[in-house]
Amino acid sequence: METMGQTKKRVEKSNEVDSTKKRRKSTSDAIEFLQKKAEQELALRREEMEMRKQEEMRGSQETTMQQEMLRMIQQQQENQMKQQQRNQTQQLQFMQSMLNQQQQQSQALLSLIDRLAPKENN
């Protein structure tokens, strides 16, 4: 059996192996740590700024695309209206020519009837 003194010595030896004395860090270590941290933060900020720029560019591109689409839609509507007006004008001209033909045919028929019908003697 182990005596109390032996147990104490054994425990002290095992503690020494596991827990070595912590050394105090020097000022240069602290400065180096702070410099690294500042560089990391700066890199992070730059990355965030770059991401914001890209988002803004995407937003402006989307806006430009929307404006272009609106312009195209307006152009299509104008073209459709012009085509409708042309169609209406052509239809009106066709109807007028048909009316003129009908009037000419009526006049020709009346003059034919006048020629063929026996004239009454007054």
- pLDDT 10s digits, 15-29: 665 555 556 667 888
For residue 6, what pLDDT is reported?
82
For residue 74, what pLDDT is reported?
96
Q: 100-109 in b/e burial notation, b at 16+ Cβ within 10 A? A: eeeeeeeeee
| CA distances in angstroms from 8 to 14, 16, 20, 21, listed in the order given | 10, 12, 18, 19
Cα 37 from Cα 84, distance rounded (Å): 70
Q: Using one digit for the tens of pLDDT, what is the confidence trace for 38-54?
A: 999 999 999 999 999 99
Centre a 10 Å sphere on the Cβ of residue 37 and count the other Cβ atoms it contains: 10
Residue 64 one-letter amino acid: T
Q: Which two tokens stand for residue 2?
A: 């182990």
**pTM for the model:** 0.45
For residue 3, what pLDDT is reported?
86
Cα 122 from Cα 119, distance rounded (Å): 9
Helix (H) or strand (E) holding 56, with range, is helix 27-116
